Amino acid sequence: MPDESPFAFDATGFLYNPQLRGLVGHDLAPDVLAVVEAFAAINQAAKLNRWALERWAVRHGLSEARLQVLLVLRRQPNGMRLVNLAATLEVAPPSLTGLIDSLEKDGLVRRVPDPGDRRSMLATLTATGRERVDEIWSTQVEHQVGITDGITTEELVQLRHLCLRLVENVKRATTRNGPGAAAQNRPKADRGDHSDQERQDRPGRRAVPSRDR
């Protein structure tokens, strides 16, 4: 981001993006504009954070995805089942298999049998992998502390709370409006759920003759 901030303060002392507001603010009610601006700010922060994380991972000879695996396993001294690891990282099991293969090849992760279930395998850090991720983790924490300079602990707690509330809302909306939900909520005329008489009465459609003779 350039030294000169592209943002400005509104009348209440809060930052906003004048360019975005100029593009969309003229035809949105204030409460709706607040939603649009909030999502734009979240997306911009997430994009910049993802970009910084990817660059940071590359400097350590990793991709962001491989780094995330190491960071999760760092908190699992006894290893973690691959299926649970995939769920935690929110990746498909085949994708996780490729990541584990790559990390295992580099000597950072190894697969071991699950003592509680012979059908399952655990992924665990090697000594080299733990040393590597511990060093990376300390650097990451320092970076995160640095970019929150000027933001109070109370503001960070509020930020965490609001982000997690938004996560809950998104998950709830996704569950409620899952595949097929939109079609089920449409009126019958939009879904194609019509009675025989309705189908016969459509313009340009031949009536189906009755079979009751």
Q: Is the dihedral of CA 195, 201, 205, 208 positive or negative?
A: positive
**193 within domain boundaries:** no
- Whole-number pLDDT of residue 183: 42
Region for 163 from its dihedrals, namely left if φ exceeds 0, alpha if ψ lies in -120 to 50, beta otherwise: alpha
Nearest to 53 by CA among 64, 44, 61: 64
**202 within domain boundaries:** no
Residue 117, CA distances (Å) to 91, 97, 120, 149 in order: 22, 19, 6, 47
Scanning 64-187, the segments in alpha helix (DSSP H) are 64-74, 82-89, 93-105, 127-147, 153-176, 181-185
- Whole-number pLDDT of residue 55: 86
**74 within domain boundaries:** yes
- Whole-number pLDDT of residue 5: 87
- Whole-number pLDDT of residue 127: 95
Residue owning tokens 């320092």? 142
**183 within domain boundaries:** no
**195 within domain boundaries:** no
SS3 208: coil
**76 within domain boundaries:** yes
- Whole-number pLDDT of residue 178: 59
Do the Cβ atoms of 110 and 124 come closer than 8 Å? yes
What is the rounded CA–CA span in Å between residue 202 and residue 206?
Answer: 8
**184 within domain boundaries:** no
Please give the residue range of the domain that contains residue 122. Answer: 8-148
pLDDT in tens, the chain (213 residues): 456 789 999 999 999 999 999 999 888 999 999 999 999 999 999 999 888 888 888 888 889 899 999 999 999 999 999 999 999 999 999 999 999 999 999 999 999 999 888 788 999 999 999 999 998 888 888 888 999 999 999 999 999 999 999 999 999 998 877 544 444 444 444 444 444 444 444 444 434 444 443
CATH of the domain at 49: 1.10.10.10
Whether pTM > 0.75 for this model: the answer is no
**73 within domain boundaries:** yes
Do the Cβ atoms of 136 and 148 come closer than 8 Å? no
Q: How many CB atoms lie within 10 A of CB 113?
A: 12
Q: How many domains does the chain have?
A: 1
- Whole-number pLDDT of residue 3: 61
- Whole-number pLDDT of residue 25: 86
